[in-house]
Amino acid sequence: MHPRLALLMLLPPLMWAGNAVVGRLMVGLVPPLQLNLLRWTLALLILLPLGWHALRTAEQRAALWVRRGPLAILGLLGVGAYNALQYLALTTSTPLNVTLIAASSPLWMLSIGALFYRQRPGPPALVSAACSLAGVLLVLSQGDLARLSEIAFVPGDLMMIGAIISWCFYSWMLSRPPVALQTGLPKPSEDWAGFLLVQALFGIGWAALSACAEAVLAPAAIEWSPGVIAAIVFTALGPSLIAYRSWGIGVAQAGPAMAALFGNLTPLFAGLMQGALLGQWPQAYHLMAFGLIVGGIGLSSIKGDR
């Protein structure tokens, strides 16, 4: 692999790990659902000049409006639910736990595919899912599997599982779009900015609704400071735009299996950042969980190549 491509594929896990750590740092400074709204509002403003051509003509706008129902669901899953639940999870869980639980997505992806899309998983996929599940169980039991029968979930862990389920439905909706979304949308491989702009436009309403509900049910003021502003700018630029674009290039040039290997470096980066910035260094069971998750993806991809 060319070093430039490898460096490019390191950017998404770095951005995603940074997003988890920033979300944790913002606890008590910015309410989580307001943070999600601010992130996507700024991302939307940045995307407008980059992807405006996707909305340039009346015909394009009419085509999107006709598809408003499925697009609203797509925006809810990808923008309104996943990120909001992740920031909520970080109020009671750690960045490392959150990213390790997120690495269990193969398990949920296979389950949703089998239940809702009649996609039967093959042996390589089952190996990956089993390793992911074992890694998550290690995290939840804190390395003592005998404690599983007594385990009490931290609310943030459950919220992150909800976030991952939302992301998996979102991913399947992109992979197997309903008939209404099979035409009339920008192609992510050809127009990443327009594609993301359309999702952000239909998702920002959900983010605003949840932020308003939060303001009513759990009112809290934003503690504005240069650090808070920098954090919001990072969440809009890094995980929302840089990671998305780098991931798309990596998948196109190296393939989804290799991209998945790089993507599962997120817990490692999150653990290092969490230790350096929050003083919460990874424990042995975290490293074992990380090894299981990455090993499962690697074994799966090797079998898949054969």
pLDDT tens, residue by residue, 286-300: 777 777 766 766 665
For the residues 21-49, what does the mean pLDDT come to? 95
Give the ranges where the chain is alpha helix by DSSP (H): 3-25, 32-51, 58-66, 68-75, 82-89, 95-102, 105-116, 123-141, 155-175, 192-217, 226-237, 243-254, 256-263, 266-278, 284-305
What count of Cα atoms within 13 Å lies in the side-chain half-sphere of residue 223? 9
> Residue 306's pLDDT band (boundaries 50, 70, 90)?
very low
Calculate ∠ Cα 240-125-127, nearest 5°. Answer: 115
Q: Which of 97, 88, 83, 92 is nearest to 43 (CA)?
A: 83
Residue 257 scores a pLDDT above 60: no
Q: pLDDT tens-digit profile of 129-179? A: 677 677 767 766 666 766 656 656 688 988 999 998 998 898 888 878 887
Which pLDDT does position 274 carry in this prediction?
Answer: 80
Q: pLDDT tens-digit profile of 77-109? A: 989 999 899 999 999 988 878 887 887 777 787
Token pair for 149: 């029968």
Q: Would you call 104 helix, strand, or coil by DSSP? A: coil
Which pLDDT does position 224 carry in this prediction?
Answer: 96
Which pLDDT does position 305 carry in this prediction?
Answer: 42
DSSP 281: P
Percent of the chain with pLDDT over 90: 40
Rounded distance, CA 194 to CA 300, Å? 33
pTM: 0.82
DSSP 179: G
Rounded distance, CA 7 to CA 72, Å? 34
Which pLDDT does position 304 carry in this prediction?
Answer: 44
Percent of the chain with pLDDT over 70: 84
Highest mean pLDDT among 44-48, 126-130, 171-175: 44-48
* Tokens 């952000």, located at residue: 200
Q: pLDDT tens-digit profile of 221-243? A: 999 999 999 999 999 999 989 98
Mean pLDDT of the chain: 83
